[in-house]
Amino acid sequence: MTAPEPTPSARKTELLEAAYAYALEHGLADLSLRPVAAAIGSSPRVLMFLFGNKDGLVKALLARARVDELAMIEPLHSSVSGLPEAVAHVWTWLAVEEHRPLLRLWAEAYARSLVEPDGPWGGFAESTVTDWLAVLATCQPEPERTTEQGLVLRTLALATLRGALLDLLATGDAARITAAVELQTGVLATSPEV
User: What are 97-133's pLDDT values in tens digits?
Assistant: 999 999 999 999 999 999 988 888 889 999 989 988 9
Q: Check residue 100 and give its pLDDT.
A: 92
> How many residues would you count in the chain?
194
Instruction: Specify the long-range contacts of residues 60-64, CB closer than 8 Å, at least 24 apart.
Output: 60/16, 60/19, 61/16, 61/19, 61/20, 61/23, 61/28, 62/109, 62/120, 62/121, 62/124, 64/16, 64/17, 64/20
Q: Check residue 77 and give its pLDDT.
A: 63
Q: What is the rounded distance in angstroms from the CA atom of residue 84 to the CA atom of residue 70?
A: 19
Radius of gyration of the chain (CA): 19
Buried b (16+ CB within 10 A) or exposed e, 131-167: ebeebbbebbeeebbeeeebbebbebbbebbbebbeb
Find the mean pLDDT for residues 40-66. 91
Q: Quick check: 42 and 33 in contact, CB under 8 A?
A: no
What is the rounded (10 degree) CA torsion for 132, 168, 109, 116?
110
Single pTM value for the model: 0.82
- Topology of domain 10-189 in CATH is Tetracycline Repressor; domain 2 (1.10.357)
